[in-house]
Amino acid sequence: MGGALRVDKPWGYELVWEVAPDYLARIVHLNRGNRVWLESRGESSRPVVVCAGRMLLVFEDDLGRTYEVPLAPGQLHDIPVRTRHRMIAVEDSDLVAVSPGDSLDVLRVED
């Protein structure tokens, strides 16, 4: 295991490192007012914990209806398998997520 790799994104950046064989940890920094893509995970849930800032976790059902879960520092939320979701930064925000390293498990639905 080495150090974290910084990956710049249009909405902020990720710091990514391996925590165990086949598992990656990420610190995801979202700049205020930005959002990540709408995605769904096929085979694994994704626990996330907010470390700084406030954000909205937005879920979308099969009919396109959305509902929002506000998250503040210290809050943990588990994103269920096969659930379309995206995160929106209300403030500059940092969250930690751990998931399998296989990017084939993620289906990007919309940018």
Mean per-residue pLDDT, 54-59: 94
Instruction: Look at the chain and report how many structural domains it folds into.
Output: 1
The pLDDT value recorded for residue 104 is 46
Ordered strands of the 23-30 beta sheet: 5-9, 12-20, 23-30, 93-100, 46-52, 76-79
Q: What is the CATH number of the domain that holds 72?
A: 2.60.120.10
Question: Which residues face 48 on adjacent strands?
Answer: 77, 97
Classify residue 35 by its DSSP letter: B
Strand partners, 20: 23
CA Rg, the chain, in Å? Answer: 13
H helices, E strands: number in the chain:
0, 11
- pTM across the whole model: 0.83
- Measure the CA angle with vertex 28, ends 24 and 31; round to 5°: 165
Mean residue pLDDT across the chain: 85
Segment 93-103, tens digit of pLDDT: 999 988 777 65
Q: What range defines the domain where residue 14 resides?
A: 5-110
